[in-house]
Structure 1
């Protein structure tokens, strides 16, 4: 579920059929392809035939990686060496020199349908003792001898709507599960991936409520869809996406879209485009940087060794130093870059502070509750936001008056939109960290005459 395909640094091969009690071996991806090609075809074949077979073998293996075909079913490997299920691999075998040279050139190129993201499930067979819907290995020899180019050979078997992606990025093969359960109030690309998958699965399983917006915000509709999915597939109906639910959703999604078949429905680019930047680094300027700075400002107020930071939206030296200090305190590599591991730890640290702070009280400015507030939400945090908005209605008549009911209805959404418009924020009607922080700032300035947000005057520090 991580987006566009990549070439894994390594691949784990099961030396037998999927359910057999056979060992696994982990090898580099180029070495794997060299072994497969040396096991599947002959090095004396025409070069164009060999090239076509290499493209097919790479694409087949990447489809298994991309769809997490085996790992989504609970296996601890990426592919098998059983030709009944996958492609041949003989552990420890000799690699033919002509094969090695070509694979070094082509291992980071793969096939896909035009307009689709996923690597083509490039099924193939030898074409003599076994025939299949896909490429015939011996047939490629005849076509090459007739002067067909590798691309022409491939389109002969797979169709004209085919393209070869070259110089694909190389990256570690990291499991897609985000290391932590997703639940109501979360906001991320991982949430959006779940929403997209559940909406498609609901076409085949109509009992699953259709999620109205794939906005990356885990609201009540998403929780309801998750819970019904869990009920249908005999998982604990918690409405929380834990690891088992994540991979069951992945498996069912791949199945209904046939992503691991030649007749694949296809994965569209809009489904894998990122809304939230995963890696933030010096020189960047965005709302996501501003969000990180907000969390660092709060954590820095309560952890003595975490350097405070100004909330500007620009990732400068001060932010990088703050990130490094945070990484040092929490035992992470001190890179000064926000990757997934740092973001998860930062979020956990922030939520730990939220849990220990009083939300209300005399002259208390509440901290962001850690969950995105949107229409349909009912909570104490909504009531507090309504209190702030209602007070600001007296200062800014453009902001509609709201009742402090704790229910986020259409009137509250209108008030939030009006506030965001006034303050030059993204007008989405959601109360996330940035909108909450700005709401707290404006409220405290008009209510008390100065800025008294919690991270500026903490009551205690953690050493």
Structure 2
């Protein structure tokens, strides 16, 4: 389910830029207040429900798109009817409206294949009209004619409206910003989010170059697109995605997609699933699970509270052992002990992995994997870590003719990327051309095998031709 209901919502008691107070109230209480402020309890129940559909969807759109927070505000919505819905602090709540809201909580509208809550624009229909939106007073005669709440809603917004129900309640939705500055070399779903959003923004702003592929690797093309975006919108063009750039991208993306308009371009389920990390849980398998196991193994060598792993146990299968290790890690950090890896657990584990490498770079077990770097290596990077990767590639190329030799110059160019892709294919990894933990591990193993096979023990064939005279 891509949409959750927040436990609480923060309302600004005035227009967005006014020096007014904020008030935080339970989400259900907010909807009850809005409904009691804008419609009448004596209306037919179908009319009341139709209006609550619109009111609930409207506020969830504001929260889902981070409409105000992406502009730097510290609230979710205002109570100014020029911008949002009417909310009157401390007002009495009508009993029947309260009961209906409790019954409908978690419901919202979507349009067609889009998954974001519809920006359900509406007006009273008497002093103010809104073409394409719902008329509050106009719902009453339709209900009196016997139309259901759903039929009333579709009569205003169209036949392609869907009714979502039972969205889960979340104690805290948090903010979308991942909490770390994204930069050259990062590899994550957050990077993929930025790539996808910049690609869509570039359709409206062609001076921002497209990023292909949008694979979650923060490479030179991604950095160039970030810099172009920052120049376009008067941010410091440093190529880094910190909080300010993250939310500016979010705000512009919302606007070009018209996510807070009735004629929204819409977000597909695929777009939503790529915006948030996949939940890893028991029964799953693949490269992501193997990387999870690798991080757990690194952490297990440093923390006594965590189990030890052997290299043979990194099998990419999320079984009971992996679940137990995840639970132990979550327990150690005070995270919810679910045994599944959500965004919070994954980010914490990556942070732990990096900390271990910095504190114990010479640890014997880690030495098997040739001192892995703190960040992924991608095209456009330079430095000692790139040089070390190229040295490994050169060793591997001596034993595997399909791997092209590279110049050991510390510059991650197209030749190095191509060689890495070939090695990843040999290792059974996705051929991304980027060097992450699993690729480092595999390259270290291949290089060690090549070197071992080239050494001759005493009495072994010396490697040159023996003549009859000898």
TM range (shorter): 0.7 to 0.9
- 1:339 is aligned to 342
User: Could you tell me whether the CA contact under 8 Å between 1:307 and 1:326 is conserved in 2?
Assistant: no
- 1:280 is aligned to 280
CA–CA separation in structure 2 for the residues paired with 1:318 and 1:154: 50
- Secondary structure at 2:109 match in 1: strand
- Secondary structure at 2:371 match in 1: coil
Task: Give a deviation string over 1:333-382, Cα, whole Å, max 9, x none.
Answer: 555543333322322232234446379xxx98523323333344444333
* Structure with greater Cα Rg: 2
1:63 matches 2:66: no
- Secondary structure at 1:163 match in 2: strand
- 2:217 is aligned to 217
Task: State the Cα distance separating 1:4 from its structure 2 match.
Answer: 2.5
- 1:436 is aligned to 440
CA–CA separation in structure 2 for the residues paired with 1:143 and 1:264: 26
Q: Please list, as runs of the form range in 1=range in 2, the aligned pairs for 1:386-425 lying within 5 A after superposition.
A: 386-425=390-429
Q: Residues 411, 158 of structure 1: CA spacing in aligned structure 2 closer, same or farther, 3 A cutoff? A: same
Please, which of 35, 52, 55 is the counterpart of residue 54 of structure 1?
52
Q: Please list, as runs of the form range in 1=range in 2, the aligned pairs for 1:10-25 lying within 5 A after superposition.
A: 10-25=8-23
1:311 matches 2:314: yes
Task: State the Cα distance separating 1:77 from its structure 2 match.
Answer: 1.1
Task: State the Cα distance separating 1:389 from its structure 2 match.
Answer: 2.6
Tell which deviates more after alignment, 274-283 or 105-114.
274-283
Q: Residues 366, 123 of structure 1: CA spacing in aligned structure 2 closer, same or farther, 3 A cutoff? A: same
- Secondary structure at 2:347 match in 1: helix
- 1:139 is aligned to 138
CA–CA separation in structure 2 for the residues paired with 1:281 and 1:161: 35
CA–CA separation in structure 1 for the residues paired with 2:331 and 2:159: 53
Tell which deviates more after alignment, 277-286 or 104-113.
277-286
- Secondary structure at 2:273 match in 1: coil
Q: Residues 448, 349 of structure 1: CA spacing in aligned structure 2 closer, same or farther, 3 A cutoff? A: farther
Task: State the Cα distance separating 1:149 from its structure 2 match.
Answer: 2.5
Tell which deviates more after alignment, 131-140 or 278-287.
278-287
Q: Residues 18, 276 of structure 1: CA spacing in aligned structure 2 closer, same or farther, 3 A cutoff? A: closer
Report the TM-score, using the length of structure 2 for normalisation.
0.86
User: Could you tell me whether the CA contact under 8 Å between 2:116 and 2:267 is conserved in 1?
Assistant: yes
Aligned-residue RMSD, C-alpha? 2.6
User: Could you tell me whether the CA contact under 8 Å between 1:365 and 1:444 is conserved in 2?
Assistant: no
Task: Give a deviation string over 1:270-316, Cα, whole Å, max 9, x none.
Answer: 32223874443444433222112212222333445543234222334
Task: Give a deviation string over 1:13-69, Cα, whole Å, max 9, x none.
Answer: 122222233322222222221221111111111121111111101110011001111
Count matched residues: 444
Which runs of no fewer than 5 residues in structure 1 stay unpaired? 450-463
1:36 matches 2:13: no
Task: State the Cα distance separating 1:87 from its structure 2 match.
Answer: 0.8
CA–CA separation in structure 1 for the residues paired with 2:68 and 2:275: 28
Task: State the Cα distance separating 1:121 from its structure 2 match.
Answer: 0.7
- Secondary structure at 1:270 match in 2: helix
Which runs of no fewer than 5 residues in structure 2 stay unpaired? 454-470
- Secondary structure at 1:185 match in 2: coil
Please, which of 417, 427, 433 is the counterpart of residue 431 of structure 2?
427
- 1:461 is aligned to none
CA–CA separation in structure 2 for the residues paired with 1:219 and 1:343: 21
User: Could you tell me whether the CA contact under 8 Å between 1:10 and 1:173 is conserved in 2?
Assistant: no
Task: State the Cα distance separating 1:93 from its structure 2 match.
Answer: 2.1
User: Could you tell me whether the CA contact under 8 Å between 2:184 and 2:381 is conserved in 1?
Assistant: no
- Secondary structure at 1:290 match in 2: helix
CA–CA separation in structure 1 for the residues paired with 2:349 and 2:375: 14
- Secondary structure at 2:137 match in 1: helix
CA–CA separation in structure 1 for the residues paired with 2:110 and 2:44: 24
Report the TM-score, using the length of structure 1 for normalisation.
0.87
